[in-house]
Structure 1
Amino acid sequence: MGKGRMVSASAPPAPREVPSDEKWEENEGPPREAKWWYSTFHTVTAMVGAGVLSLPYAMAYLGWGPGTLVMVLSWCITLNTMWQMIQLHECVPGTRFDRYYHLGRHAFGPRLGPWIVLPQQLIVQIGCDIVYMVTGGKCLKKFMEIACMSCTRIKQSYWIIMFGGIHFFLSQLPNFNAVSAVSFAAAVMSLSYSTIAWVGSLGKGRAETVSYAYKMTNGPTDYMFRVFNALGQISFAYAGHAVVLEIQATIPSTPERPSKVPMWKGAVWAYFINAICYFPVALIGYWAFGQDVPDNVLVALERPAWLIAAANLMVVIHVIGSYQVYAMPVFDLLEKTMVKKMNFRNGFPLRLVVRSSYVAFTLFIGVTFPFFGDLLGFFGGFGFAPTSYFLPSIIWLRIMKPKKFSLNWFINWICIIVGVFIMVASTIGGLRNIVADSSTYQFYS
């Protein structure tokens, strides 16, 4: 990789002049006070989320060879595309693209750019928050059932509502820097519960009846859709790109030390932590339980009870932070739209109404469709594959214009082809599985 460089590119052409309406006004931007390690734990919080616990389940449909290959390929591709986005943050001298759609507007034009980038980014951010509502509620329920065996059992929907209630308060924090402590705690929790997941699986040992045959339970057609969904579950695990520019926007930048230097340092450490979380959980979890592993590997671990309870509580703490990391850019967009387009006055009343409404919306969807694995696959394909796998490569080709048939050009096209395939396949698989599972599900149970 070298010092902040993933793939060599030919010298880019002189950048075009950025129209005034495309520039991010400095006095409206986020506070630029963050250090390089802020980018590490914000990125870890954004990436190492609930999706890590479903990786053994994805392996059950893909098998040892294809599953490992997809994991390694996804790690390499998304590290490359994250490097590209970090480099593009200040690709025009004197201008910082602090939002994903700002970069898209520069690449595709002021009219087309937002329509290409913004919907995908919102799908990722809102989709993550919906999944984290479900995950937080389920893990809170599991924690209480283990910690208090004699307590009266209550509906899963109520646990999701209780988890959502926390965010009505946390959503009033003003910006990324204000949630730094929450994000740091979430990053520590993600590393902790991932370690518990794979150490617990290793300690439990391989089940006597373990089978590594492909998980084909309802015929080849159903299996094909489940494989597609598994690809989406893996792509869901690489979700940090949707907020990487917003994270980089909090880092100061000077001509002597541009923000891409500390941001890339933080991103490399984040990907290192990502690797030591993802690969042991996926491989050891699948080794221990085979095709019978559930869509949340913690559910399969029952002893020691106190450790499994602690792991579930760690997941709850982590997704509290992750929810806020993904929600902050949405809050920012909604509030600026209300102020600029509808002439609302900026302040606490607007923040209270807008952010509470958003939390209520994600809570309602999470309570209505609590299909953890299916949601991961659907959102992983529909939103995460574009923003993490191939959209950065398309933007890179348009802005940097590497020489045709060069190594850089080929790498970008490989990212695009792989990403488009994952997007199409996992979106179809996830949607089909949501429809199939909802047909037998008792809503609000």
Structure 2
Amino acid sequence: MEGEQEWLSDASLNIPLIQDHERRQISDIGPNNNNVTTSFLKTCFNGLNALSGVGILSVPYALASGGWLSLSLLFAIAAVAFYSGILMKRCMEKNSNIRTYPDIGELAFGKIGRLIVSISMYTELYLVSIGFLILEGDNLSNLFPIDEFDIFGISIGSKQFFVILVALIILPTVWLDNLSLLSYVSASGVFASAIIVLSISWTAAFDGIGFKQKGILVNLSGIPTAVSLYAFCYCAHPVFPTLYNSMKNKHQFSNVLIVCFILTTAGYASMAIIGYLMFGSKVESQITLNLPLNKISSRIAIYTTLVNPISKFALMATPITNALKDLLPRAYKNHRITNIFVSTVLVITNVIIALCVPFFGYLMSMVGASLSVTASILLPCLCYLRISGTYRNCGFETVTIVAIIVVAIVIGIFGTYTSIVEIVQNL
């Protein structure tokens, strides 16, 4: 077993890295990296695709939860997430063998570090996949409301029906072994986010809704929810090592992060402001649920919203299925039937939870507080302190990183608690 492992050559650390078949599990969530280098522009595009997601639908609700002043927290979280991305780059510069996020965790804290990073990543991917199903069910039932009906004595409502229907549509894509085609399809997410913002803006400006709501300055009780949802928007850090290693000129990765974070933050902030001015405190957890269905611009926004998660679901699920297959005896790992069975069971569990906890905003808030904060802020800071050795010196950078860690822990605790309470109250 040890002969199959690669070893880090760092002077102070001698830790076995992940095996190749395990490394590919994590690489599946980012652009394909088969010794193919990419340009600065292409890496920027891939980074934008990773950062722009369904979070754009919930930022108006986040702003409505916390009030106008909470918008400053969006920029603060964006700045901290950018800085933690820079810290990840510095960690990767320490050793050329690092290929994935768990590699960084293992370089810093050994097998325990790899385990913690992997659990955070897989759990986040799993819950985001559930969020996709909830989003699809909410929007489709809003577009095509149907009466409740019974099947084998089980009562099925409109949302439940569409969650199950979308899962059946998605299922064959999860069976695929090669997701290179789907990765190209999912790259449309960058354009999809722009289309959503533009079409919703058109609905407000030209279809009669207008920007009439004033909103409130601050709502302290809603700050935990707002912060958690803002954090969810910046949960792409597991992909950063893949992007870094794919670049022709890795020294430009900092510039890639600057471009990606500025553009995505501008998009998130614009959507938050537009949505809050349109609907005020009545904005839904998904702004598409507020849109008038008789307007073409609204339907464009909703249809764009619906297509994007379907194309990305398999990319989220594949790293999890690969990890689950790796737990099986060697004789069953590479069987086609095994892949289909594990993938199907995974989707079934996604559907069950989506039906039991059909609260998109609360679920994404919990993901943001408990997992996005951990994976995108807390772990990069801890890993950098350990790998760089700066924790031994009480300098400005060390104090700054420790302060970020403390704030991240507080956000994680209060945000997760608030989200769980809201979910329980609405069950």
How do 1:112-191 and structure 2 match up within 5 A?
Answer: 112-144=112-144, 155-175=158-178, 177-191=180-194
In 2, distance between residues paired with 1:239 and 1:232?
11
In 2, distance between residues paired with 1:28 and 1:239?
20
AA in 1 matched with 2:142: K
| Aligned partners of 1:53 and 1:194 also within 8 Å | no
In 1, distance between residues paired with 2:294 and 2:393?
57
In 1, distance between residues paired with 2:46 and 2:205?
29
| Aligned partners of 1:201 and 1:301 also within 8 Å | no
| Aligned partners of 1:15 and 1:92 also within 8 Å | no
> Please, which runs of 5 or more residues in structure 2 have no aligned partner?
1-8, 25-32, 149-156
In 2, distance between residues paired with 1:300 and 1:371?
16
Task: Between 123-132 and 344-353, report the one with greater CA deviation.
Answer: 344-353
AA in 2 matched with 1:244: F
1:50: which partner in 2?
54
Identify the match of residue 361 of structure 2 among 360, 363, 373: 373
Identify the match of residue 278 of structure 2 among 285, 288, 296: 288
Deviation at 1:334, TM superposition (A): 2.1
Deviation at 1:152, TM superposition (A): 6.8
In 2, distance between residues paired with 1:173 and 1:265?
35
Is 2:364 the counterpart of 1:363? Answer: no
In 1, distance between residues paired with 2:196 and 2:243?
24
In 1, distance between residues paired with 2:165 and 2:174?
15
Is 2:271 the counterpart of 1:271? Answer: no
| Deviation string, structure 1 residues 169-216 (Cα, Å, up to 9, x no partner) | 111333553422221123321221133234434553233x6542656x
| Deviation string, structure 1 residues 19-62 (Cα, Å, up to 9, x no partner) | 4x424438974633362455444443443222221112111221
1:238: which partner in 2?
234
Identify the match of residue 429 of structure 1 among 412, 418, 421: 418
In 1, distance between residues paired with 2:235 and 2:280?
26
Q: Say if 1:115 and 1:86 are closer, same or farther in 2 by CA, change over 3 A.
A: same
Deviation at 1:428, TM superposition (A): 0.4
Identify the match of residue 206 of structure 1 among 211, 231, 245: 211
Q: Say if 1:287 and 1:325 are closer, same or farther in 2 by CA, change over 3 A.
A: same
Q: With structure 1 as the length reference, what TM-score do the two structures score? A: 0.80
Q: Say if 1:187 and 1:303 are closer, same or farther in 2 by CA, change over 3 A.
A: same
AA in 1 matched with 2:210: G
| Aligned partners of 1:89 and 1:96 also within 8 Å | yes
Is 2:47 the counterpart of 1:59? Answer: no
In 1, distance between residues paired with 2:231 and 2:379?
14
How do 1:193-342 and structure 2 match up within 5 A?
Answer: 193-203=196-206, 204-207=209-212, 210-212=214-216, 224=221, 226-248=222-244, 251=246, 257=248, 260-261=250-251, 264=254, 266-302=256-292, 305-338=295-328, 340=330
Deviation at 1:346, TM superposition (A): 0.8
In 1, distance between residues paired with 2:89 and 2:318?
19
In 2, distance between residues paired with 1:190 and 1:408?
35
In 2, distance between residues paired with 1:315 and 1:333?
29
| Local SS of the residue matching 1:109 | helix
Deviation at 1:368, TM superposition (A): 1.7
Task: Between 313-322 and 421-430, report the one with greater CA deviation.
Answer: 313-322
AA in 2 matched with 1:104: G
Q: Say if 1:23 and 1:293 are closer, same or farther in 2 by CA, change over 3 A.
A: closer
Deviation at 1:87, TM superposition (A): 3.6
Q: Say if 1:335 and 1:435 are closer, same or farther in 2 by CA, change over 3 A.
A: same
1:97: which partner in 2?
99
Q: With structure 2 as the length reference, what TM-score do the two structures score? A: 0.83
Deviation at 1:363, TM superposition (A): 1.8
> Please, which runs of 5 or more residues in structure 1 have no aligned partner?
1-12, 146-150, 216-222, 439-445
| Deviation string, structure 1 residues 234-275 (Cα, Å, up to 9, x no partner) | 1111111133335556x26xxxx46x3465555444323312
Q: Say if 1:44 and 1:339 are closer, same or farther in 2 by CA, change over 3 A.
A: farther
Deviation at 1:325, TM superposition (A): 3.2
| Aligned partners of 1:142 and 1:312 also within 8 Å | no
1:75: which partner in 2?
78
| Aligned partners of 2:87 and 2:384 also within 8 Å | yes
| Aligned partners of 2:62 and 2:227 also within 8 Å | yes
Deviation at 1:117, TM superposition (A): 1.8
| Aligned partners of 1:107 and 1:399 also within 8 Å | yes
Task: Between 49-58 and 26-35, report the one with greater CA deviation.
Answer: 26-35
1:441: which partner in 2?
none
| Local SS of the residue matching 1:89 | helix
Aligned-residue CA RMSD (Å): 2.9
| Aligned partners of 1:89 and 1:245 also within 8 Å | yes
Q: Say if 1:27 and 1:303 are closer, same or farther in 2 by CA, change over 3 A.
A: closer
Identity %: 19
1:88: which partner in 2?
91
Alignment coverage as a number of residue pairs: 399
